[in-house]
Amino acid sequence: MKAAFVAALAAVVLSHSADVGAAEIKVLHGGAFTQLVEAVVPEFQRQTGHKVTTQRETVGALQKRIEGGEAFDLAILTPAAVDDLAKKGKITAGSRVNLVQVGVGVVVKEGAPRPDVSTVDAFKRALVAAKSVAYIDPQAGGSSGIYVAGLLEKLGIANEVKPKAVLIHGGAVAEHVAKGEAELGIHQISEILPVKGITLVGALPKEIQNYTIYAAGIAANSANVDVVKALIKAFGDAKAVAAMKQKGMEPAGS
C-alpha cells in the first residue's frame, strides 16, 4: 500500500514538473501565412510541450485588433504593419523578423477553361472577358485585395472589372471560385493551392507580380518571449523552408 502511494505521488510530481515548463502563447497571423502555420505549429507543440493558439484574419483587421488592446504573444503581419505597431508600443521594437513572401495567382474552377495570363495584355483580356472576378475586398484590409484594386486602376480596366467584381470579406477567394460564385479569382498562391475543386492557372506576369512579405513581431507585453523566439526560429528552419516551397511561398527576400 505504501509503495503504491509513493509511486502515485511520484507520478504526480513528474507530471507537475513537466507542466511547469510548458507555456501557452497566442499567435495572430495573416491568411496567406496559414499553410506554414499548419505545417510548423503541430510539430513545435509536440517537440516543446508548449501550446500555441492561432487566429487568422486579414492583416488590416489584425492590426486594428492589436491597436484596440487585444492580447497576443506573436503577430505575423506585413513588415509595415509590424513596424507601425512597434511605433505604437504594441510590438517590441527591433523584434521584427521577415519570414516568407507570397506571390499572387489566378484561379478558375476545376474543369473550366484556363485563360491565358502569361503576359500583361493577356491577363487584361482575361479579366475583361470573365463574367465575374473574385478578389479580397480592399476594405477588409487584405494585402492581395488592396493590390488588385490598385492594379485594376493601373491597367486601365477598373471600370470594366469593378461592376462584375465578387468582393470577398474573409477566407480564401479560391473557395468561392470552387463553389461557382465567380468565374475567375485573383489571390495569393498559398491560399489557392490547398483548396479542392479549383485549378491554379498561373502566377501574375512578372511585370505586375506583387510579393507580400510576412514578418513576425513579438508583443511588447508577452510573458513568454523565449517560447515565441523559439517558434519564430522554427518558422525558418530547413523543414519549414521545404514546406513553404510546397505551399506556394518562398523565404523572404529570395
Give the global pTM. 0.76
- In-domain check, residue 57: yes
* Domain of residue 59, CATH code: 3.40.190.10
Mean pLDDT of 116-127: 98
Banded pLDDT at 253 (limits 50, 70, 90): low
For 57, list phi and psi in degrees, rounded to 5: -160, 175
Please indicate, yes or no, if residue 119 is contained in any of the structural domains.
yes
Domain with 166, as residue range(s), is: 104-203
Total domain count for the chain? 2
C-alpha 185, offset from chain centre = 17
Task: Look at residues 38, 51, 42, 78 and name the one whose alpha carbon lies nearest to residue 62.
Answer: 78
Are 95 and 111 in the same domain? no
Domain shared by 37 and 120, yes or no: no
Asked whether residue 89 is domain-assigned, the answer is yes
Q: Which long-range contacts (CB under 8 A, 24 or more apart) does 241-245 make?
A: 243/35, 243/36, 243/39, 243/40, 244/35, 244/36, 244/39, 244/100
How high is the pLDDT of residue 5? 39
SS3 86: helix
* Shared-domain flag, residues 113 and 155: yes
CA distance 228 to 62: 18
In a domain, 208, yes or no: no
Which residue bears the cell 487584361? Answer: 124
Q: Check whether residue 70 and residue 123 sit in a common domain.
A: no
The pLDDT, as a whole number, for residue 21 is: 75
Distance between CA atoms of residues 139 and 123, nearest Å: 24
Whether residue 133 lies inside any domain: the answer is yes
Q: Are 78 and 143 in contact (CB under 8 A)?
A: yes
